[in-house]
């Protein structure tokens, strides 16, 4: 398989409950390692923070209930087998404010970075990242598309298929 291009098909699924969204996030989180960046997109209420709870669980956070929307903090850190840096770009005016938070240093650090509302700060994302797009399909149903941007992350997308 050629990993130098973005030819791997995305993983697409529909979850029917918050529990299923958390479980999917957990499966993804177990595959993540130091320096990985996850970019989350989706409308308000699409389940981004719910998915982050699952990612954190998969990464070994002690209590997923501590994972909340980082809207007012802008960036939260969670202790797990490797640190998790949870950015929320909803209130940011653009990539410049994201850089002011030190994202570039954190992205290249030893933790996993998760960026909610990543489409608002796309210019500061690294060349390679895992992209997760979430769509509301019903009261509790969410269509989730997991793909990679650039090189890498094949292991994550493949483990979901």
32-42 pLDDT tens trace: 999 999 999 99
Q: What is the pTM of this model?
A: 0.88
Distance CA 22, CA 18 (A): 6
Please give the CATH topology (third level) of the domain spanning 11-160: Rossmann fold (3.40.50)
CA-wise closest residue to 54 among 107, 108, 114: 114
Beta bridge partners of 114: 38, 86
Domain layout of the chain by residue ranges: 11-160
Collapsed DSSP state (helix, strand, coil) of residue 19: helix
Q: Dump pLDDT digits (tens) for 82-138.
A: 999 998 888 888 888 888 877 888 888 899 999 999 999 999 999 999 999 999 999
DSSP letter at 81? S
């Amino acid at each position: 398989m050629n990993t130098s291009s973005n030819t791997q098909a995305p993983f697409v699924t529909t979850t029917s409950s918050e529990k299923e969204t958390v479980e999917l996030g957990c499966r993804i989180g177990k595959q993540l390692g130091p320096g990985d960046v996850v970019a989350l997109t989706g409308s308000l209420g699409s389940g981004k923070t719910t998915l982050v709870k699952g990612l954190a669980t998969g990464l070994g956070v002690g209590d997923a209930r501590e994972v909340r929307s980082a809207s007012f903090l802008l960036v939260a850190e969670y202790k797990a087998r490797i640190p998790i840096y949870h950015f929320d770009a909803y209130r940011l005016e653009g990539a410049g404010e994201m850089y002011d938070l030190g994202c570039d240093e954190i992205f290249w650090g030893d933790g996993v970075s998760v960026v909610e509302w990543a489409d608002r700060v796309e210019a500061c994302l690294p060349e390679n990242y895992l992209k997760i797009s979430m769509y509301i399909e019903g009261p509790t149903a969410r269509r989730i598309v997991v793909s990679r941007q650039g090189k890498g992350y094949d292991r994550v997308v493949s483990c979901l298929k």
